[in-house]
Each structure stands twice: as structure tokens, then as C-alpha cells.
Amino acid sequence: MTVITTIEDLRVLAEKRVPRMFYDYADSGSWTESTYKANESDFQKIKLRQRVAVNMENRTTATKMVGQDAKMPVSIAPVGLCGMQSADGEIKAAKAAEKFGIPFTLSTMSICSIEDIAQNTSAPFWFQLYMMRDRDAMKKMIERARAARCSALVLTLDLQVIGQRHKDLKNGLTAPPKPTIANIINLMMKPRWCLGMAGTRRHTFGNLVGHVKAVTNMNSLASWTNEQFDPTLSWADVQWVKEQWGGKLILKGIQDLEDAHLAVASGADAIVVSNHGGRQLDGAPSSISALPEIAQAVGDKIEVWMDGGIRSGQDVLKAWALGARGTMIGRAFVYGLGAMGEAGVTKALQIIHKELDITMAFCGHTNIQTVGTNILLPGTYDFKP
């Protein structure tokens, strides 16, 4: 096997090892995928200022995210169906994050349940919640997160309806995959994946089956979300969630300055500048281009983070320089998970941390807390509408 040195190496390996519908689920966007692609390409437009003859010893990338220690300003984003990238995938990712020293976020639409993560890790983790029509189910989920010692709740605001994801529709995405001829042929080519799945009982949505009324068949992600996700979501509902939870609240999916001000007014502890990885509104701006205006306007009132397009430690450093006091990585860790399980997630984190650390040094800094826009080349990061 080729020596793995980049997140791209992990992506290539994951594509070989993960069944097509689940690989495509992670590695795709909505409609034309223009926003999905811009999330990555806009990072490349930002250029760094190299400095020389500065002391590069004793470097640190350590920080805190909503009061929780982090080895670097990176957390694992909530990604659905991780248990279909690799058997018991969410448990593997949570263990890797805990050992590395960064926060892990479990998705509502995970294969492993909240209780599975609590039983297999010792560090506090975060739980991501969608606004559902069934408020009783939401209350119970919040109580389960509290019982599992989750230290923060991540409320996703940009998925009241599902964006049209062409690859998911064409692949007939289900969990577990339906035994169609096409799927059987594809699975025959993924023996490592099949062997792993044969060794676990976790094959469908562990947070929902058996916990939500009248839900007995969760095979179709799209049909259940279309039925249950609440399109009437309002800021009053955000306040309701805050009251039910009572702990640290992170609002994910902010792209607009007006919404950022409303998020501050809601009393949330942090916001994530995010377009859902380009999987919702195609044609929306990239996350990194939306970040500076929001960070400048509300960064002194609330923790501002971002996700979308991060494929390297350099991307993390650029986001920090533009005002993000934390980042979330989704595809970067999912590629590692699909490629090599827990070891692959660890490898992804090691790659990002090393790139972050070395790039920071080349830019003349030994502590990430001192990094600002002075490490960026003027004219390369002034994103205009």
C-alpha cells in the first residue's frame, strides 16, 4: 500500500474499500455540487506569508472549544451513517478523537447510538440534534444525551428540508443496503467491508429505531427525514431546545450575517459557519468565504467556528486566521474511517495536526493563539459577494 501522507490518500483508499452508495453519500454535494467544490477551492485562493529567522521551538496548537480542551482547534463533525463507512464507525471515530484529544460529535442519524458511544469512551462528547415534528422524541433524545454525559448539544439549523442529492437518489441510499443485483455485485467487490459488517449487530439508525414512536423500519433515510424534520423551525424553537437542554448549545448552519446576530441573541454558546458541506443549498457561498464577515461582526460575542472544505492543517490555520475559533471536519475523518477504521481516523487527525503545526511555524508563530490575518497575503482573502 502507498505510504499515506495526505487526506487525499485516505480518500482514494476509502473509495476502493467502501460500497459505492456509502462512499457517494459522504463524497458528494447537492444539485451541481458547485458549493461543495467551492468549499475546497476557495481555501486554495488564500495565500500564506512565509517568515524566516524566527524561533520555531516549543510550538502549541492547543485551545478550548466551548470550554473543552482541544489539542488543536478541530472537532469531529456530526456525520450520518458513519457505521456504514466502517462497522461500528461512530465508536471507532469517537475512540480516535478521545485518544488524540479533540471533541467528537455524534449525529442523530448515526448507526451507533448515544449509549454505544457512552459505553465505549470515557471522555465527554457532543450530540447533534435535528428539529423534529415529534417534540416528545426530541425531549427523550435530549434526556438520553444528558444521561450519556454529553457536554454540548449541536443543533443543526440548515436541514429543515433535504437538498436534492443526485447520487443518493440514483444509488437508492438505504441502511443497510437493499439486496438488489447492483448492490450485491458492488458488495462482492468490498470483502473487507462485508467481513466487518458481519461482525456487528449495528446496521441501522441506532438513535431512532426503538426510540421514536411508530418507527419500525428506518431503512430509508430520506423518507423518514422528509416525514419528521420540521420545516417550521424558528428561533422560538431554538429557545425551546436551549431550555430543554440547559447546557452548552452550538448552532450549526449559519451562513448569513443577520442569522449570526439572531444566534447571538438566542443565547447560544457557539455558531458554526456552515453550508452542510455543500449538501443543502447549491449555489450558496463557500464556508470560508462567508466566515470573515460573520467573525468580525459577532466574534467578540460568541464563539465562531466553521466547517466545509477542510482537507488539511493549512485549511485549519487559514480558518483560524480569518476568525474561526474552532473548526469541524467531516469528510476528512470519514475518508480515514472508510479507509482504515479507527486507525484511519487517527491518521487523518495526525496529518491535519502536523500540517497545522508546521505551517504555523513557517508563518512565524509558535502559539496558535497569536495567529491572525497577518499570516495571510493581502488581497487573497478578501472575499467579495
- Read off the C-alpha cell for 124: 465527554
Query: Distance (Å, rounded) from C-alpha 197 to C-alpha 203?
Result: 8
What would the pLDDT profile of 48-91 be if each residue is shown by its tens digit? Answer: 999 999 999 999 999 999 999 999 999 999 999 999 999 999 99
Query: Distance (Å, rounded) from C-alpha 270 to C-alpha 303?
Result: 4
Give residue 345's Cα distance to chain centre.
13
The chain-wide mean pLDDT, for the chain, equals 95
Q: Is 176 exposed, middle or buried (0-12, 13-18, 19+ CB in 10 A)?
A: middle
Handedness of CA 80, 30, 268, 250 (dihedral sign): positive
CA angle 124, 80, 72 (to 5 degrees): 45
Handedness of CA 295, 299, 304, 310 (dihedral sign): positive
- Give the three-state DSSP class for 283: coil
DSSP H or E run through 228: helix 221-228
Q: What percent of the chain has pLDDT over 90?
A: 87
Given 3-state DSSP classes, what are the helix, strand and coil percentages for the chain, each rounded to the nearest 5?
45, 10, 40
What's the pLDDT at 385? Answer: 62
What would the pLDDT profile of 276-317 be if each residue is shown by its tens digit? Answer: 999 999 999 999 999 999 999 999 999 999 999 999 999 999
Query: Distance (Å, rounded) from C-alpha 38 to C-alpha 88?
Result: 31
pLDDT band per the 50, 70, 90 thresholds, residue 219: low
What would the pLDDT profile of 345-358 be if each residue is shown by its tens digit? Answer: 999 999 999 999 99
Query: Distance (Å, rounded) from C-alpha 109 to C-alpha 106?
Result: 8
> Could you tell me if 291 and 304 are in contact, meaning their C-beta atoms sit under 8 angstroms apart?
yes
Binding site per annotation, positions for glyoxylate: 25, 165, 276, 279
Binding site per annotation, positions for FMN: 78-80, 107, 128, 130, 156, 252, 274, 307-311, 330-331
Please list the active-site residues. 276
Binding site per annotation, positions: 25, 78-80, 107, 128, 130, 156, 165, 252, 274, 276, 279, 307-311, 330-331
Which residue segments constitute the domains of the chain, with CATH numbers given?
A: 7-375 (3.20.20.70)
Q: Is 136 exposed, middle or buried (0-12, 13-18, 19+ CB in 10 A)?
A: exposed
